[in-house]
């Protein structure tokens, strides 16, 4: 009898197959895609942070996935986040064009009628990617609304988070919540969640302070350690478990769990396993690295002027100071091209990185357009860089893939641009445009200190990933 029940449970677990088309994203950089659902299985590929995968099947600890390149394999569930299933709804009184690419000049393949809804996939270049006739198309985000398919919970990522009476940082604080508190989501508005409070009234919380998936891995829990000797990694926390491979002395790993003197680690090549933590020593992941931060513009050059009239040069400098502090804590020596409201040419900024012998140069900017509908985060590299342009790309990519894991931060691309500051240097260099100052919602976010703190953490994580992957 017991055997039958067990068998039924096992069958139920194995057949718990997701509906076709559900997407998930990896939540850690360089994670193994295994042939089978086990840490001692062969590795088919190593996936980067924020890799989009199609979920095919799951059991209680593992997901079978298909990558964008069509490879199938298994990833531990802990390293995957599955965004809520949502609709894009036309709440206007007119038809809205469905297009082949994210521009108003691209071909229209159909229209979304008033009241009609389609499956939401993602947001890119300020356009929603939707499923229409079983294919992916684009629809203008500023003309449409997002609706949840079923009731959803969100979890607070930090302590003392303000809950407000409107979806705006200017609105009244009606309550507060702490780390791990959970709330039901009633809606989504401009990067804010409408949540249900204890007395059944509604409140609003900024999306970047929350997560949908408390069980999945987030970078903030990583502890970087170095192996103090050649070290076996095993499938479980004792020498009785099977050996997977041996790490070399001096390799940096990420510890994601600890049990009885054993650490569960993720190695640089994406392998996951357990090792005796007597041979692991906590390490500063950026020890010995020299970083030049470049707060864009300055003095007579204000940069972009925001929706409400604020100057880009000031916020660039605020972010740089904030990021410098974090990178120092991670062990890096950090220099800045300017530390006050002064002017320095882009050419001099680039050349300064070479003079300092910096390992990387990161230029910090905020975007602007004469259309306030546009939003999103982008990073840039330059292929006419004198030396190894791929390093600039790798840096731009590592920062981007970490930054877009923030809820309410949308993708605007990793782009090749002939920016002078990136061109006039031999140092691997990237530039970030954190958000659009011309978009009222993003303008408010980027001037908010809690948003800035979350953002610089992710930029720092990206910089660490860049160096670990070298
Ligand atoms: Zn700028």
User: What integer pLDDT is reported at residue 221 of this predicted model?
Assistant: 65
pLDDT tens-digit profile of 34-71?
999 999 999 999 999 999 999 999 999 999 999 999 99
Confidence (pTM): 0.92
The CA 361 to ligand 1 mean position distance, Å, reads: 15
Q: Is the pLDDT of residue 238 over 80?
A: yes
Give me the mean pLDDT over the 284-311 stretch: 96
The CA 415 to ligand 1 mean position distance, Å, reads: 15
The CA 103 to ligand 1 mean position distance, Å, reads: 23
Token pair belonging to 414: 């990793």
Domain range list for the chain: 14-81, 86-148, 152-211, 222-282, 290-469
The CA 446 to ligand 1 mean position distance, Å, reads: 14
pLDDT tens-digit profile of 461-470?
999 999 998 8
On the question of a common fold for 86-148 and 222-282, the answer reads yes
The CATH number fitting domain 86-148, selected from 3.40.50.1970, 3.40.50.880, 1.10.357.140, 2.30.30.40:
2.30.30.40
The CA 316 to ligand 1 mean position distance, Å, reads: 8
The CA 355 to ligand 1 mean position distance, Å, reads: 23
The CA 363 to ligand 1 mean position distance, Å, reads: 9
Least confident range of 13-27, 195-209, 218-232, 243-257: 13-27
Give me the mean pLDDT over the 160-174 stretch: 93
Backbone angles phi, psi at 6, to 5 degrees: -60, -45
Cβ atoms 432, 363 nearer than 8 A: yes
Q: How far is CA 16 from the centre of its chain?
A: 28
**Which among 277, 221, 222, 268 has a CA at the least distance from the CA of 245?**
268
The CA 374 to ligand 1 mean position distance, Å, reads: 16
Q: Is the pLDDT of residue 315 over 90?
A: yes
Token pair belonging to 4: 């039958």
User: What integer pLDDT is reported at residue 292 of this predicted model?
Assistant: 98
Q: Give the whole-angstrom CA distance, residue 256 versus residue 133.
A: 41
Q: What would be the CATH architecture of the domain defined by 290-469?
A: 3-Layer(aba) Sandwich (3.40)
Q: Is the pLDDT of residue 9 over 70?
A: no
Q: Is the pLDDT of residue 152 over 50?
A: yes
Contacts of 198 (CB under 8 A, 6+ apart): none
Give me the mean pLDDT over the 292-303 stretch: 98
- How confident is residue 14, by pLDDT bands cut at 50, 70 and 90? very low
Give me the mean pLDDT over the 301-327 stretch: 96
User: What integer pLDDT is reported at residue 1 of this predicted model?
Assistant: 40
Classify residue 301 by its DSSP letter: B
The CA 439 to ligand 1 mean position distance, Å, reads: 15
pLDDT tens-digit profile of 346-402?
999 999 999 999 999 999 999 999 999 999 999 999 988 666 667 899 999 999 999
The CA 335 to ligand 1 mean position distance, Å, reads: 19
pLDDT tens-digit profile of 186-212?
888 778 899 999 999 999 999 999 988
The CA 381 to ligand 1 mean position distance, Å, reads: 15
The CA 57 to ligand 1 mean position distance, Å, reads: 45
Q: How far apart are the first and last CA of the chain?
A: 56
CA angle 465-222-47, nearest 5°?
45
Note the residue count of the chain: 470
Place domain 222-282 in its CATH homologous superfamily.
Answer: SH3 Domains (2.30.30.40)
The CA 298 to ligand 1 mean position distance, Å, reads: 10
Check if CATH label 2.30.30.40 holds for domain 14-81: yes
pLDDT tens-digit profile of 408-426?
899 999 999 999 999 999 9
User: What is the four-CA torsion angle of 409, 376, 411, 350, rounded to 10 degrees?
Assistant: -110
Helix-strand-coil split of the chain, %, nearest 5: 20, 40, 40
Q: What are the residues facing 263 on neighbouring strands?
A: 258, 275
Q: Give the whole-angstrom CA distance, residue 457 versus residue 316.
A: 15
The CA 136 to ligand 1 mean position distance, Å, reads: 33
Give me the mean pLDDT over the 116-145 stretch: 94
Q: Give the whole-angstrom CA distance, residue 45 versus residue 41.
A: 12
Other CB atoms within 10 Å distance of the CB of residue 232: 17
The CA 364 to ligand 1 mean position distance, Å, reads: 8
The overall average pLDDT reported for the chain is: 91
User: What integer pLDDT is reported at residue 457 of this predicted model?
Assistant: 94
- How confident is residue 216, by pLDDT bands cut at 50, 70 and 90? confident
Token pair belonging to 249: 């002395």
Q: Give the whole-angstrom CA distance, residue 181 versus residue 419.
A: 44
Q: Is the pLDDT of residue 116 over 90?
A: yes
Alpha helices in 263-311 (DSSP H): none
Other CB atoms within 10 Å distance of the CB of residue 378: 23
Cβ atoms 163, 203 nearer than 8 A: yes
Q: What are the residues facing 52 on neighbouring strands?
A: 25
The CA 318 to ligand 1 mean position distance, Å, reads: 14
Give me the mean pLDDT over the 329-355 stretch: 97
User: What integer pLDDT is reported at residue 18 of this predicted model?
Assistant: 38
User: What integer pLDDT is reported at residue 187 of this predicted model?
Assistant: 80
The CA 367 to ligand 1 mean position distance, Å, reads: 6
Q: Give the whole-angstrom CA distance, residue 24 versus residue 51.
A: 8
Token pair belonging to 201: 């009234």
The CA 311 to ligand 1 mean position distance, Å, reads: 10
Token pair belonging to 406: 């923030």
User: What integer pLDDT is reported at residue 387 of this predicted model?
Assistant: 63
Give me the mean pLDDT over the 323-336 stretch: 97
Q: Is the pLDDT of residue 133 over 90?
A: yes
User: What integer pLDDT is reported at residue 388 of this predicted model?
Assistant: 63
Contacts of 168 (CB under 8 A, 6+ apart): 192, 204, 444
Cβ atoms 51, 26 nearer than 8 A: yes
User: What integer pLDDT is reported at residue 333 of this predicted model?
Assistant: 98
The CA 287 to ligand 1 mean position distance, Å, reads: 30
Cβ atoms 256, 280 nearer than 8 A: no
The CA 295 to ligand 1 mean position distance, Å, reads: 9
The CATH number fitting domain 152-211, selected from 1.20.120.430, 3.40.50.1820, 2.30.40.10, 2.30.30.40:
2.30.30.40
Q: Is the pLDDT of residue 217 over 80?
A: no
Please report, rounded to a whole number, the percentage of residues in the chain having pLDDT higher than 90: 81
């Amino acid at each position: 009898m017991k055997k039958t029940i067990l068998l039924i449970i096992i069958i139920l677990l194995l057949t718990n197959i997701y509906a076709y088309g559900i997407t998930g994203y990896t939540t850690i950089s360089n994670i193994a895609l295994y042939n089978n659902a086990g840490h001692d299985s062969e590795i088919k590929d190593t996936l980067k942070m924020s890799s989009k995968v199609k979920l095919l099947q799951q059991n209680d600890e593992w997901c079978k996935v298909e990558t964008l390149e069509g490879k199938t394999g298994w990833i531990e569930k802990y390293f995957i986040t599955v965004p809520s299933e949502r609709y894009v709804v036309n709440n206007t009184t007119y038809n809205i064009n469905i297009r082949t690419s994210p521009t108003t000049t691209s071909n229209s393949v159909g229209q979304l009628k008033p009241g009609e809804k389609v499956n939401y996939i993602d947001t890119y270049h300020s356009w929603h990617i939707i499923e229409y006739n079983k294919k992916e198309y684009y629809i203008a985000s500023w003309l449409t609304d997002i609706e949840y398919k079923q009731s959803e919970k969100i979890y607070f990522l930090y302590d003392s988070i303000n809950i407000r009476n409107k979806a705006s940082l200017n609105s009244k604080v009606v309550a507060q919540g702490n780390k791990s508190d959970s709330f039901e989501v009633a809606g989504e508005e401009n990067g804010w969640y409408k949540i249900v409070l204890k007395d059944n009234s509604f409140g609003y919380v900024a999306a970047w302070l929350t997560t949908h998936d408390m069980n999945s891995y987030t970078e903030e829990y990583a502890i970087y350690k170095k192996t103090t000797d050649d070290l076996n990694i095993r499938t479980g926390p004792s020498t009785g478990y099977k050996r997977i491979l041996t790490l070399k002395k001096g390799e940096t790993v990420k510890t994601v769990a600890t049990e009885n003197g054993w650490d569960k680690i993720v190695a640089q090549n994406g392998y996951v396993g357990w090792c005796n933590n007597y041979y692991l020593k906590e390490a500063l992941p950026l020890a010995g690295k020299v970083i030049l931060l470049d707060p864009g513009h300055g003095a007579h050059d204000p940069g972009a002027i925001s929706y409400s009239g604020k100057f880009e040069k000031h916020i660039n400098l605020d972010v740089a100071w904030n990021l410098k502090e974090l990178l120092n804590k991670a062990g890096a020596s950090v220099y800045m091209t300017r530390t006050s409201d002064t002017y320095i040419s882009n050419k001099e900024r680039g050349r300064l990185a070479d003079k300092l012998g910096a390992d990387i140069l990161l230029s910090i900017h905020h975007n602007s357009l004469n259309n306030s509908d546009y939003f999103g985060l982008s990073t840039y590299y330059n292929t006419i860089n004198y030396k190894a342009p791929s390093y600039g790309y790798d840096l731009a990519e590592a920062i981007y893939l970490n930054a877009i894991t923030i809820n309410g931060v949308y993708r605007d691309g990793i782009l090749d641009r002939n920016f002078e500051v990136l061109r006039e240097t031999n140092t691997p260099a990237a530039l970030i445009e954190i958000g659009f100052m011309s978009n009222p919602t993003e303008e408010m976010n980027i001037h908010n200190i809690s948003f800035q703190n979350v953002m610089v953490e992710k930029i720092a994580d990206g910089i660490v990933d860049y160096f670990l992957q070298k």
